[in-house]
Amino acid sequence: MKIKQKMELMDNEKILSTYTKNLTLTTHRIRYEVNRGGKRTILGFMLEELDSCGIRYSNNPFLLLLAGISFLIGFFISILTNSLGVIAITLIIVGVFVIGYFLSRHVDLMLESGRSTIKVSLEGDSIGSALKFVHLMETAKNDRYLSLKNR
């Protein structure tokens, strides 16, 4: 049985934006809800507890290095043996490493607060929309800070 509960808002709290249907930014807090593999995770923290937010790019350039080394080794072996089969095998190995490199590339939206980290994969989403969301979070945090300071 799947239960989808709507997030209850606090007094004077308004939803500013949602991102990838799992991440909600309000005037007071950030809430992340996701269902994966039969497990439901709900994580949230107040804007004043937000330590950092940003976009993290990661990849594995070592795979490109392996592709280059494989190409050079295969090239020299093919010269020594004068064999087209070695060239074909070399190109397949190089292709596997290059494809592995492109598959290893990830872009994630990272939100950190103390011990808690919200990591949202940006697969299929534009980096521009993620940057706008980060800017909106920074603005909301600043507004929240100023409203608490002026009380």
Q: How many CB atoms lie within 10 A of CB 131?
A: 13
Do 93 and 70 form a contact (C-beta atoms < 8 A)? yes
Lookup result for tokens 């249907």: 21
Q: Give the predicted TM-score (pTM) of the model.
A: 0.68
Closest residue by Cα to residue 98 from 132, 125, 59: 59
Instruction: State the pLDDT at residue 70.
Output: 96
Instruction: State the pLDDT at residue 92.
Output: 96
Question: Tens of pLDDT along the chain (151 residues)?
Answer: 444 556 788 888 898 888 878 888 999 999 998 888 888 888 888 888 888 888 888 889 999 999 999 999 999 999 999 888 999 999 999 999 999 999 988 888 889 988 888 888 876 667 788 888 888 888 998 888 888 887 7
Closest residue by Cα to residue 13 from 140, 113, 103: 140
d(CA 58, CA 45): 26
